[in-house]
A = this chain, B = another copy of it.
């Protein structure tokens, strides 16, 4: 997905006498840790997690994906990390913490997928990336010394991610497991030429992200959202006329309902979970 050319930090040498030395700083050791939570930015939760990480691996690159996941909304986090992680270099460690069950028996887990590492609670936040390599994080030598029952982002996931970024193999974190929890993202239902989809998310601009793909729409289609018919597919937001609702293949690869320089969600009054009906006319009709 990304070009893999990497920047090796340049070093200049001034050799004295004999002595020609080539030095390579392995820039791939500038590890990246991303953070995706429902913690918000008004409290110090995220800053505290970063402090813990930097105490373990001082030169890591820390990147916030978002901390505005709706409180306790596991599926929203699962969807966001799925559509995001692939834009980071392989080897990145992703912390995903939406954790209403913190302090209960729910397990902390680590997973490996497509060369990326993930840590989070075993409650479905990693649903979309869990393939088959997952581990129950049990080795508390990688935790903070005191583990609370209310903030495992700080006490478990941040330090574990720091250690993984430092080079600790995920296999050292605990035993491999196969019974991890997966909540599949809702899939569209097809009945003949009719498809029923759902709204996965509304973005900041009011674009309504559906779980439909371009191929679901065929050559001609009518999408019905909140009773309103949408029949136009645009290639870009600005291709549409002002005030006209249209469909567009969004940047996540899903079909979005949009309004040129306006909020489709406000106009349609839909939110996540709303139903979307599509009637398609196949090309050979």
Asked, given contacts A47-B65, A64-B41, A150-B237, whether A89 binds B12 with beta carbons under 8 Å apart, the answer is: no
A117 to chain B, nearest CB (A): 14
Mask, A47-83, CB within 8 Å of B = 1, is 1101110111111111111111001100000001001
Q: A19, B15: Cβ atoms under 8 Å? A: yes
Q: B51, A84: Cβ atoms under 8 Å? A: yes
Closest residue of chain B to A12, judged by CB? Answer: B24
Asked, given contacts A44-B66, A236-B104, whether A87 binds B11 with beta carbons under 8 Å apart, the answer is: no
Closest residue of chain B to A101, judged by CB? Answer: B238
Q: What CA separation (Å) do A182 and B150 show in the bound complex?
A: 31
Query: Among the listed stretches A1-9, A131-139, A269-277, which one makes contact with chain B, having 4 or more residues with CB under 8 Å of it?
Result: A1-9
A59: contacting residue among B4, B9, B12, B84, CB under 8 A: B9
Q: B44, A100: Cβ atoms under 8 Å? A: no
Asked, given contacts A83-B44, A144-B1, whether A9 binds B34 with beta carbons under 8 Å apart, the answer is: no
Q: B66, A5: Cβ atoms under 8 Å? A: no
Contacts of A165 in B (CB 8 A): 7
Q: What CA separation (Å) do A260 and B62 show in the bound complex?
A: 30
Q: A27, B7: Cβ atoms under 8 Å? A: yes
A89: contacting residue among B55, B59, B72, CB under 8 A: B55
Contacts of A68 in B (CB 8 A): 41-42
Q: B22, A16: Cβ atoms under 8 Å? A: yes
A285 CB-CB contact with B under 8 Å: no
A249 CB-CB contact with B under 8 Å: yes
Q: B204, A148: Cβ atoms under 8 Å? A: no
A251: contacting residue among B100, B104, B151, CB under 8 A: B151
A191 CB-CB contact with B under 8 Å: no
* Interface core residue of A83, A148, A251 (most chain B CB under 10 Å): A251
Q: B239, A104: Cβ atoms under 8 Å? A: yes
Interface of A toward B, CB cutoff 8 Å:
1-30, 32, 34, 36, 38-48, 50-52, 54-68, 71-72, 80, 83-89, 92, 100-104, 144-145, 148-151, 154, 159, 165-167, 203-205, 235-239, 248-251, 260-261
* 29 A/B residue pairs, CB under 8 Å, sorted by A: A1-B145, A2-B55, A2-B56, A2-B159, A6-B27, A6-B28, A7-B27, A7-B56, A7-B60, A9-B59, A12-B23, A13-B22, A14-B22, A17-B20, A19-B19, A27-B58, A28-B58, A30-B59, A32-B58, A39-B204, A44-B65, A47-B65, A47-B66, A54-B88, A54-B89, A71-B205, A101-B238, A150-B236, A154-B251
